[in-house]
Amino acid sequence: MNAPERPESFERREPELPNALPRPAGEFEALKRAWKSPRGLSFITDVNNTYVGIWYVGTAFLFFILAGILALIMRAQLAVPESDLVGHDLYNQLFTMHGTVMMFLFAVPAVEAASVYLLPNMQAARDLPFPRLSAYAFWAYFVGGLVFFGTIFFGLAPNGGWFMYPPLTGTKYSPADNADWWLLGIGFIEISAIAGAIEIIVGVMKTRAVGMSLDKLPVYSWAMLVFAVMIVIGFPAIILGTLLLEMERAFDWPFFIAERGGDPLLWQHLFWFFGHPEVYIIFLPATGMVSMIVPAMAQTPLVGYRLIVLALIATGFLSFGLWVHHMFATGLPKMSLSFFSAASTAVAVPSGIQVFAWIATIASGRMKLTTPSLFVIGFLLIFTLGGLTGVMVAMAPFDWQAHDTYFVVAHLHYVLIGGMVFPLFAAFYYWIPVASKHALSERLGRWVFGLMFLGVNVTFLPMHITGLIGMPRRVYTYPVDMGWDALNLVSTIGSFMIALGVAIFIYDLARKFRFASEDNAGNVWNAGTLEWLPNGQYATRSIPAVVSREPLWDQPNLSKDVEEGRYYLPGTATGGREALVTSPFDARPQYILQIPGAGWQPLLAAVFTAAFFLLLTVKLVLPSVVCGVIAIGCVIWWLWETDPGPTRPPADIGGGIVVPVYVTGPMNHSWWAMIVLMVVSGMVFTCMIFSYLFLWLVNPSAWPAQGFVPPHWVWPATAAALYVASAILIDRASGNLRGEDRRSPRSVPVLIGIALLLVSAASAADLAAQWRAGLSPSAHAYGAAVYALVSYQIFFVLTTLLMGLYTIARWLTGKLDSVRRTTFDNTMLFWYYTVGQGLVGIVVVHGFPRLTGGV
């Protein structure tokens, strides 16, 4: 019960340094050469997390400013009643874009971008495990996000609110392309988030400083891990939702159209199952940042480390059980509402744990009132107030009054601005010395803080009243005699105060921020964690071993020893970029990960992926398909350079530790990535099954419609058998591809080829069965649900086809053998998943109606 928070005694003894001085000639030069950025315009092809992270954060901040300007225009319109500054059409686009851009193009990307830059540094990893993937994610977001924002200049911006409820956003009531921009624009931003989540999970678990066991993991890493897992579980719901709504709009499949068996509430469930965790996805990384900043400002270790980690995990877990509190007014039974009311109340507890942990830390140290400290204090005050109003709206009857009024607008801005924007500004002021030659100005920082803090309260505090005295949300104007005039005017004044504060920040940023790695401003705060080690484009010269949570405080010579190359892997074993992969729990070195360097492939793939989605939105189908094919081509070109095999025998990284430069199987980082991808796919599929069952509950007597004769059971049986057979063949091929002798038997491509035919036939049988039975996807929601499952499966089979052919191509060019088999393993894992998903789909589609007596 009273175990000390800090590890004592034997762990504190400094280990013998792994590598001796002097370092061999040319070692450091080789390291620098491997990590050197391309010159000129090709600079943008670099995938080093240091660069991608900065561009990513910068782009996210740009969207913050753009969406903020939209808000200023809205507040100007609402300053007086019956104003005609902005017409209803533009206003409806403004509030939709403000919400959408802030939530999808700023909030999640900003915290993800910060981790792209910070996380490897904080764990003394040279880079993320899949740098080209994060480069791809960034460029897709950059191109897609800017084009998406541009729609407002053409009057094409989505205008159905940032949560886009159908039927308003269906084809009938939103016939123009505006809604499609939202759906497709958001779609590939979702992909970027998933890619980032994969990176973070693998990065946190597998690329850490030696000896950085889980109990020494920085709280920020824990927060990002929970963040990434929440994305993996939560984002699929909105990926599915956007897919379904787009299919409804494009092909008239009536998922949400009541007249044909659909239900608008299905969208709300899918959206909010994602939407509620989304706000904690945004909030938890911010708390992780605060947990790093507070100890440095108070110059004392964090109090309650384990409780905080527990609180992070509890928040992440609980947040998935709250979503119906966004639907309290939809007429659901009170029994259901009471559960979600209770859960929404419970989630306040882990947040309380964190707040008091920070207070305790501050109390046990000597807090310097620097600008980061001020923003942390602002965060604590504003977020606490927002959390308290959150508990208020968790009480369903109160929410029945407050829902969809300015009270909720007040609540959400307090928790989002307080809970994320303030920590983000604290993080800017705190960590810019790592990335820049100069720190930002403390003097101007006080002005920025003061204006923003005061501005937020002047803007949003009155809104609590405005909402309760009757002003609903999303209104482009309001009547003269309602008594809302003064409150709205005050709110508008406050919003311009916030703008002024942000403007001063931008001015200071332009004056002071000069990108640097080797000659950065240095550890100006005397912080204790590894991102403050001296670093360059290669991150740290050598990878340290740590014995505590604040290595720079507890190992006084660490910076010097790391810089001299006394620790692990002070050079490059293969001549290229490398990271050290460590074991998930104890962070023992496992192998050297060969990382790709700069390249055009991720950038081009991202641009063409963005083009594919954007051209599809404006219904230019042929150009869209062409771009899609080129994108796939770029991805294949990109992948071709991966899976290098063991390019040299195991290498000595120092301290007598020799590790391989290539491994396969469950220890391999891309195996982990595939597992995460399978969980994501599985979650999308699970949401699809949920949708199927939900729509059944809406149509219990017409599932399927009377008179429809479902396919004979021979069809699903055949399809299932074909699926299983293909999996067996792949298993066989895997067995043939074993042995230390680097064998590459002919049977492997043959088995893959036959398996490809089988799996394609299975999927074709699945589709043909429904088609021959005469099921229509647009006549009724039953058909829509069935075809949704079938076409989702077809997408997976097509991807399997591509992966299988690619694997065969690797064999043909001599790049696949029993040792160099990561490509095969990835294909194999995906194959098993596709077969499993296919089998479950068959059971549901063919078995469920028979089970419920619908047939």
CB of residue 529 to another protein, shortest distance in Å? 20
* Footprint on residues 490-509 left by another protein (CB under 8 A): 490
Q: Which residues contact 712 (CB under 8 A, 6 or more apart)?
A: none
Q: In this structure, what token pair is assigned to residue 760?
A: 């394609």
* Footprint on residues 827-846 left by another protein (CB under 8 A): none
* Footprint on residues 163-222 left by another protein (CB under 8 A): 165-168, 172-173
Q: Please pick, from the candidates 180, 190, 278, 399, the single residue that binds another protein as defined by CB under 8 A.
A: 399
Using CA atoms, how far residue 630 sits from 487, 502, 635, 823, in Å, is 54, 41, 9, 21
Stretch that binds another protein, among 47-55, 474-482, 540-548, 795-803 (CB under 8 A): 474-482
Question: Cβ closer to another protein: 444 or 461?
Answer: 461
CB of residue 485 to another protein, shortest distance in Å? 9
CB of residue 475 to another protein, shortest distance in Å? 4
> Is the sign of the CA dihedral 64, 68, 69, 71 positive or negative?
positive
3-class SS shares of the chain: helix, strand, coil, % to 5: 65, 5, 30
Residue 832, SS3 per DSSP:
helix
- Tell me the sheet residues that pair with 405: 472
x-or-dash string of contact with another protein, 574-593, rule CB under 8 A:
--------------------
Q: Please pick, from the candidates 7, 38, 264, 576, the single residue that binds another protein as defined by CB under 8 A.
A: 264
Question: Cβ closer to another protein: 267 or 708?
Answer: 267
Q: Please pick, from the candidates 24, 155, 175, 472, the single residue that binds another protein as defined by CB under 8 A.
A: 472
State the Cα torsion 329-269-321-673 to the nearest 10°: -160
SS3 readout for 396-444? HHHHHHHCCEHHHHHHHHHHHHHHHHHHHHHHHHHHHHHHECCCCCHHH
Q: Please pick, from the candidates 259, 333, 740, 746, the single residue that binds another protein as defined by CB under 8 A.
A: 259
Which residue type sits at 220?
Answer: Y
* Footprint on residues 86-105 left by another protein (CB under 8 A): 87-89, 92
Question: Cβ closer to another protein: 189 or 302?
Answer: 302
Let me know: does 834 contact 800? Beta carbons within 8 Å: yes
CA 140 to chain centre: 14
| Nearest Cα residue to 242 out of 616, 800, 534 | 616
Question: Cβ closer to another protein: 482 or 839?
Answer: 482
CB of residue 377 to another protein, shortest distance in Å? 7
Q: Please pick, from the candidates 20, 69, 176, 391, the single residue that binds another protein as defined by CB under 8 A.
A: 391
* Footprint on residues 284-323 left by another protein (CB under 8 A): 303-304, 307, 311
x-or-dash string of contact with another protein, 2-21, rule CB under 8 A:
---x----------------
Contact between 270 and another protein by CB under 8 A: the answer reads no
Stretch that binds another protein, among 118-126, 398-406, 541-549, 595-603 (CB under 8 A): 398-406
Question: Cβ closer to another protein: 14 or 89?
Answer: 89
Q: Please pick, from the candidates 395, 657, 667, 802, the single residue that binds another protein as defined by CB under 8 A.
A: 395
Length of the chain measured in residues: 855
Stretch that binds another protein, among 26-34, 47-55, 148-156, 373-381 (CB under 8 A): 373-381
Q: In this structure, what token pair is assigned to residue 712?
A: 């004979």
Contact between 80 and another protein by CB under 8 A: the answer reads no
Match 């992780």 to its residue by tokens: 288
Q: Which residues contact 254 (CB under 8 A, 6 or more apart)?
A: 248, 260, 261, 262, 778, 780, 781, 784
DSSP secondary structure letter of residue 299: T
* Footprint on residues 672-691 left by another protein (CB under 8 A): none
* Footprint on residues 442-461 left by another protein (CB under 8 A): 461
> Is the sign of the CA dihedral 410, 411, 414, 415 positive or negative?
negative
CB of residue 250 to another protein, shortest distance in Å? 19
Stretch that binds another protein, among 97-105, 135-143, 400-408, 624-632 (CB under 8 A): 400-408
Q: Please pick, from the candidates 155, 175, 470, 700, the single residue that binds another protein as defined by CB under 8 A.
A: 470
Which residue type sits at 766?
Answer: D
Contact between 405 and another protein by CB under 8 A: the answer reads yes
Stretch that binds another protein, among 41-49, 150-158, 363-371, 825-833 (CB under 8 A): 363-371
Q: Which residues contact 298 (CB under 8 A, 6 or more apart)?
A: 361, 362, 364, 365, 366, 367, 368
Question: Cβ closer to another protein: 172 or 560?
Answer: 172
Contact between 388 and another protein by CB under 8 A: the answer reads yes
Let me know: does 32 contact 538? Beta carbons within 8 Å: yes
| Number of helical H runs and strand E runs in the chain | 27, 4
Stretch that binds another protein, among 202-210, 384-392, 524-532, 764-772 (CB under 8 A): 384-392
Question: Cβ closer to another protein: 235 or 703?
Answer: 703
CB of residue 350 to another protein, shortest distance in Å? 8
Contact between 152 and another protein by CB under 8 A: the answer reads no
Question: Cβ closer to another protein: 71 or 752?
Answer: 71
Question: Cβ closer to another protein: 398 or 806?
Answer: 398
CB of residue 168 to another protein, shortest distance in Å? 4
x-or-dash string of contact with another protein, 323-362, rule CB under 8 A:
------xxx--x--xx--xx--xx-xx--xxxxxx-xxxx
Q: DSSP string of 671-736?
A: HHHHHHHHHHHHHHHHHHHHHHHHHHHHSTT-SS-TT--PPPTHHHHHHHHHHHHHHHHHHHHHHH
Question: Cβ closer to another protein: 429 or 613?
Answer: 429
- Establish whether the linkage from the previous residue to 22 is cis, with ω within 30° of 0: yes
Let me know: does 650 contact 590? Beta carbons within 8 Å: no
Q: Which helix (H) or strand (E) holds 582?
A: strand 577-582
Q: Please pick, from the candidates 131, 275, 365, 710, the single residue that binds another protein as defined by CB under 8 A.
A: 365
Q: Please pick, from the candidates 66, 118, 228, 396, the single residue that binds another protein as defined by CB under 8 A.
A: 396
* Number of other CB atoms surrounding residue 247 within 10 Å: 20
Question: Cβ closer to another protein: 384 or 686?
Answer: 384
List b or e across 167-183, with b for residues whose CB sees 16 or more CB atoms inside 10 angstroms. bebbbeebeebbbbbbb
Q: Please pick, from the candidates 75, 403, 541, 549, the single residue that binds another protein as defined by CB under 8 A.
A: 403
DSSP secondary structure letter of residue 469: T
CA 685 to chain centre: 19
Stretch that binds another protein, among 381-389, 563-571, 593-601, 637-645 (CB under 8 A): 381-389
Cα separation, 408 vs 547, whole angstroms: 46
Q: Please pick, from the candidates 398, 447, 806, 832, the single residue that binds another protein as defined by CB under 8 A.
A: 398
Contact between 478 and another protein by CB under 8 A: the answer reads yes
Contact between 77 and another protein by CB under 8 A: the answer reads no
* Number of other CB atoms surrounding residue 556 within 10 Å: 10
- Establish whether the linkage from the previous residue to 704 is cis, with ω within 30° of 0: yes
CB of residue 483 to another protein, shortest distance in Å? 5
Contact between 147 and another protein by CB under 8 A: the answer reads no
CB of residue 411 to another protein, shortest distance in Å? 11
CB of residue 243 to another protein, shortest distance in Å? 21
Contact between 486 and another protein by CB under 8 A: the answer reads yes
Stretch that binds another protein, among 485-493, 712-720, 748-756, 810-818 (CB under 8 A): 485-493
Using CA atoms, how far residue 355 sits from 287, 307, 419, 616, in Å, is 9, 11, 11, 46
